[in-house]
Amino acid sequence: MTRIGFVGLGNMGMPMCENLVSGGFDVVAFDVRKEAVEAIVEKGASGALSAAEAANGADVLFTMLPGPTQVEAAMLGEDGALAAMSPDGAWIDMSTSTPEAVDRFSAATGSEGPVMLDAPVSGGTTGAREGTLQIFVGGAPDAFERYRPILEVMGDPNLVIHVGGRGAGYAVKLCLNLLWYSHSAATAEVLTLGLRAGVELEVLHRAITASAANSHFLEHDVLSVFSGDYDESFHLALVCKDLGLAVDLGRHTGTPLELSALVEQLHRRARAQYGDRGGQLAAARLLEDATRTSLRTSIGEVPASEEDGRA
| Helix then strand then coil, % of the chain, to nearest 5 | 50, 15, 35
Q: Cα separations (Å) of 195 from 149, 212, 291, 298?
A: 48, 20, 11, 15
241 is catalytic: no
Please state, in angstroms and rounded to a whole number, the distance separating the CA atoms of residues 197 and 226.
Answer: 18
Q: Half-sphere exposure of 148 toward its Cβ, with a 13 Å CA cutoff? A: 17
> What kind and span of H or E run contains 93?
strand 90-93
Q: Of 151, 7, 140, 165, which Cα lies nearest the Cα of 85? A: 7
Catalytic residue among 34, 43, 173, 241: 173
DSSP three-state, residue 118: strand
54 close to 5: Cβ distance less than 8 angstroms: yes
Catalytic residues: 173
